[in-house]
Amino acid sequence: MNKPAHHELSPEIKTPITLTIAGSDSGGGAGIQADIKAISATGGYACSVITALTAQNTQSVTGIFPVSPAFVEQQLDAVFSDLDIQSVKIGMLSDATIIRAVAKKLRQYRPKFIVLDPVMVATSGDLLLEAEAISTLKSELLPLATLITPNLPEAVALTHVSSLSGTVSTVVYTKETEEKEALIEQLKQLNTEAVLLKGGHWEQEAQSTDYLILESDTVTLTASRVQTQNTHGTGCTLSAAIASYLAQGYTLTEAVTRGKAYLTQALLHADQLRIGQGHGPVHHFYSLQPR
């Protein structure tokens, strides 16, 4: 009887692991759920630490149940003590105590890359974090971050935190070039390694242009604006994809470029999904869609 052939073992290649620290979206379109989908779809392995539970769907958020800072720390100890985490994506952090707990553990475990999506402003313009929590975010987490990924209202909140009073509607930036340049200069003053200013809120423009703000340069990344109602979780998806690509060894500029390309395709295919009655999710697994 012929013996089965023995296959030579290939050199061990570590699986690129990305940790997402964020809130849970019961509707599956944003938060932890979107992050896990994006990390998986872009070739990484996702693990998670949940900071809050939300009751939400495609139409609204009807409840938020924060997780205690002590249990957030316990989750972080569990994953870092066992898994070789290369990159971390941070999303929803509900208050200053959670922010401090996360920062404490990140300083302890020192992951190679940290992508912070500062979830601070609702679509209505209302602040989701109090001014104290935004200040704590700036002092505790921004210095640890490889990249932060604010949209326009979040960028305004980060640069005008001392003058905010519950809303960012009193501070308005338009598409005028000089106002963009002024905001970019203000973002350069933040104590963080790099900033990706997302251009989704400049809706008057035919192109969706993001600005990767580095210490010595600003890289412009442009794609055609996709018209779809299925935009829930776009910020979560982009930041998670960037973190996933960083874990796989891409440079920051390459990871951001690939992340934006992935999100653009997820938006272009979003209308293939029929999810809920409101703003549905992007299509994270568009590449698996049957032709």
* pLDDT at residue 237, as a whole number: 97
Residue among 90, 150, 88 at smallest CA distance from 116 = 90
- How many Cβ atoms from other residues are within 10 Å of residue 221's Cβ? 18
Tell me if 7 is assigned to some domain.
no
Tell me if 154 is assigned to some domain.
yes
* pLDDT at residue 7, as a whole number: 47
State which residues form the domain around 121.
17-272
CA atoms of 128 and 119, how far apart (whole Å): 7
Tell me if 101 is assigned to some domain.
yes
Do 80 and 47 touch, CB atoms closer than 8 A? no
CA atoms of 175 and 186, how far apart (whole Å): 16
Tell me if 284 is assigned to some domain.
no
* pLDDT at residue 161, as a whole number: 59
* pLDDT at residue 9, as a whole number: 45
Do 228 and 271 touch, CB atoms closer than 8 A? yes
Do 289 and 283 touch, CB atoms closer than 8 A? yes
Tokens encoding 265: 């395709």
Supply the CATH number for residue 34's domain.
3.40.1190.20
Tell me if 74 is assigned to some domain.
yes
Specify the number of domains making up the chain. 1
Residue among 130, 118, 218 at smallest CA distance from 166 = 130
* pLDDT at residue 204, as a whole number: 61
- Could you tell me which residues are beta bridge partners of residue 17? 45, 85
Specify the 3-state DSSP secondary structure of 280: coil
Tell me if 2 is assigned to some domain.
no
Residue among 207, 116, 128, 131 at smallest CA distance from 163 = 131
pTM of the model: 0.90
Tell me if 230 is assigned to some domain.
yes
pLDDT values of the chain reduced to their tens digit, one per residue, 291 residues: 454 454 454 556 789 999 999 999 999 999 999 999 999 999 999 999 999 999 999 998 889 899 999 999 999 999 999 999 999 999 999 899 999 999 999 999 999 999 999 987 766 566 667 778 889 999 999 999 999 999 988 898 898 755 545 555 544 445 556 677 888 999 999 999 999 999 876 656 678 889 999 988 999 998 888 889 998 999 999 999 999 999 999 999 999 999 999 999 999 999 999 999 999 999 999 998 765
CA atoms of 43 and 38, how far apart (whole Å): 9
Q: Give the residue numbers annotated as catalytic, written as ranges.
A: 198, 231, 233-236
Tell me if 197 is assigned to some domain.
yes
Phi/psi of residue 288, nearest 5 degrees: -95, 0
